[in-house]
Amino acid sequence: MHYRRLGRSGLKVSEISLGAWVTFGHQIDEKTAIDLIHAAYDHGINYFDNADIYANGQAEIVMGKAIKDLPREALVISTKVFWPTMPGPNGRGLSRKHVMESIHASLRRLGTDYVDLYFCHRYDPDTPLEEVARVMDDLVHQGKVLYWGTSEWRGAQITQVYGICRQYGLIPPTMEQPQYNLLHRRRVEEELAPVCHELGIGLTTWSPLAYGILTGKYNEGIPAGSRASLPDMAWIRDMITPERIAKVRQLTDLAKELGITPAQLAIAWILRRKEVSSVITGATRLEQLDENLGAAEAVEKLTDEVLERIDRIVGVPGDND
């Protein structure tokens, strides 16, 4: 396993990480989730991603049970705050009230005294950025959060809150967590990459396989038992368009030529970028975890010629998202 610095911070995270979204507390049972975390740790993964909204808090509970048997100081645990998790008008967003109540609830569910990374899960137009910056600064000084960051924020919003932190002597954000994959490129490549370079922000990207579409498993339809077949995943089925599948079929053929799987091609394509500190992957089986980990060795196969072929298949930013 290779480890990368989280932006310009001193923290090192595994370049491939394991996330809890959709699967933990929902798609897979508790024992499988715990087995996956332990196997990931044994393979060198130290970063495990979560959020308070995942499975209505159950994902944090499952992860808390799993990490209980692992050395806490060896782990980088993240969670997030923004979406509605409590009753009433203050049960969502990034107000001081909701953030303070949410971090305490997350720590209880995770069974830990602190989280390494705490993300503002979306931008909150109803809360002043200074309020957000000050509550995050307070959490760091209290030792409940080691690094804070954003998720799915625009580059200008990150730059603005970073400036507020510098103005008032507050601890600025260290990382941003955007969606980034072969079918969703523009925001990272055109907007966030310059911000990362200027401010020293690290990217922990999510959905490297575009909800499983880039694995090729939907090339001939939606298999029973797949994520897209679940009753509450109609939004994924809406994304499986003939145009996307045509591109994925070409990528599948390219991966076969290179002697790797389509999933490994997709993850390796992200790993080649220096702005990316870690690629957050998901898995429902140990075999999927092993396949994802093999992407690290596939990076060397992405020659300039191969990258040009990929661009011709999926299109450059602006053509596809």
Residues belonging to the active site? 54
Distance of CA 39 to CAs 36, 43, 288, 296, Å? 5, 6, 11, 17
* Beta-ladder partners of 117: 78, 147
Structure-block tokens of residue 61: 């509970």
Q: How far is CA 27 from CA 67, 218, 238, 260, in A?
A: 20, 18, 19, 27
Angle subtended at Cα 23 by Cα 55 and Cα 153, rounded to the nearest 5 degrees: 70
Task: Find the length of the chain.
Answer: 321
Residue whose pair of structure tokens reads 């596939």 in the numeric block: 298
Helical segments of the chain, H only: 30-42, 58-67, 96-110, 129-142, 155-168, 186, 193-199, 234-239, 242-258, 262-271, 286-293, 295-298, 304-314
Closest by Cα among 129, 197, 122 to 165: 129
Distance CA 24, CA 29 (A): 7
Give counts: helices (H), strands (E), the chain.
Answer: 13, 10
According to DSSP, the β-strands at 3-5 and 12-14 are antiparallel
- Output phi, psi for 57, to 5 deg: 95, -15
Q: What is the distance between the alpha carbons of residues 3 and 100, in angstroms, rounded to a whole number?
A: 31
